[in-house]
Amino acid sequence: MFTPIYIANYCENYCIYCGFNCHNKIRRAQLNADEIEKEMAAIAETGLQEILILTGESKTKSNVEYIGKACEIARKYFKVVGLEVYPMNSDEYAYLHKCGADYVTVFQETYNSDKYETLHLAGHKRIFPYRLNTQERALKGGMRGVGFAALLGLDDFRKDAFATGYHAYLLQRKYPHAEIAFSCPRLRPIINNDRINPKDVHEPQLLQVVCAYRLFMPFASITVSTRECERVRDNLVNIAATKISAGVSTGIGSHVDDIEDKGDDQFEISDGRSVNEVFNALKDHGLQPVMNDYIYL
């Protein structure tokens, strides 16, 4: 079990499907070090021991040192620290690893390079090959794990799921020590655009993708996010998924009340259960909730 924490939603990319895109008129915010600590302390009180730090893709607003400081704070409260931020170079990942980060997740969004250009109209994210090679740069920087995902619904989901699996497989072959993880996000409505929804990716198709990942890479971690409803998530962890988030907010400063400068959400979540509710649901299904799967000796 884990939860994400969004520490900034400033973004320099124009991705037409994302609530954080630079042309969307939303409340922008960035937490300072004290606010990050307050948020993380509140999350830690729920019993979680793993955190995923997220920002919008703005190296100007959320520079490497800022993210590194967030990692250092996270280390005080959590056993495992993940990152889902803009792609970086290997030396920058080495710095963040030294600050306390364990793994890096990057959504390629779609592996169709032609479609990719039509979805990413401005910003550094337009450079397809640089994003594609992010996981390898993270491993070269010392990260022990990397995550892969396509945003299902942007293009033919079967081709994107196949490419995601093959991408992870090739990295596993080259770096046998690396921990491999998959996420299976489907499009969700975003602020100022509630018409964005998955194309031809319904629940049976999502199950097909999750099962294909599990059969293809039996030891990989598979995350099912709060983009999916309670029923779907509870069923997927019974079948093939191994990682589930809880107590989730995709906004800025949403875990404590005394942060005045709050930012808008990246997308609408579907499962708003607390940590205790997800924990108890797992136990009710005969499963063992695990808060930390890695120990440093």
Q: How does pLDDT run across 25-72, given as a tens digit for each residue?
A: 888 889 999 999 999 999 999 999 999 999 999 999 999 999 999 999
Q: What was the pLDDT predicted at 297?
A: 77
- Right CATH for 3-284 from 2.130.10.10, 3.40.640.10, 3.20.20.70, 3.90.660.10: 3.20.20.70
Structure tokens at 66: 């800022």
The answer to whether 67 and 55 are in contact (CB under 8 A) is: yes
User: Measured on CA atoms in the order 213, 214, 217, 219, is the torsion positive or negative?
Assistant: positive
Q: Write out pLDDT tens, residues 161-220.
A: 999 999 999 999 999 999 999 999 987 665 555 555 556 788 999 999 999 999 999 999
Closest CA to 273 of 224, 240, 221, 202: 224
Q: Where are the domains of the chain?
A: 3-284
Q: What was the pLDDT predicted at 209?
A: 96
Average pLDDT over residues 260-264: 65
Q: What was the pLDDT predicted at 26?
A: 82
The answer to whether 1 and 275 are in contact (CB under 8 A) is: yes
Structure tokens at 152: 């299902």
Tell me the residue length of the chain.
297
Average pLDDT over residues 136-157: 95
Burial of 230 (0-12, 13-18, 19+ CB in 10 A): middle
Q: CA-CA-CA-CA torsion for 165, 170, 173, 178, nearest 10 degrees?
A: -70
Q: Which helix (H) or strand (E) holds 85?
A: none
Give 261's pLDDT tier (boundaries 50, 70, 90). low
Chain-centre distance for alpha carbon 226 = 11
Q: What was the pLDDT predicted at 269?
A: 78
Average pLDDT over residues 101-116: 96
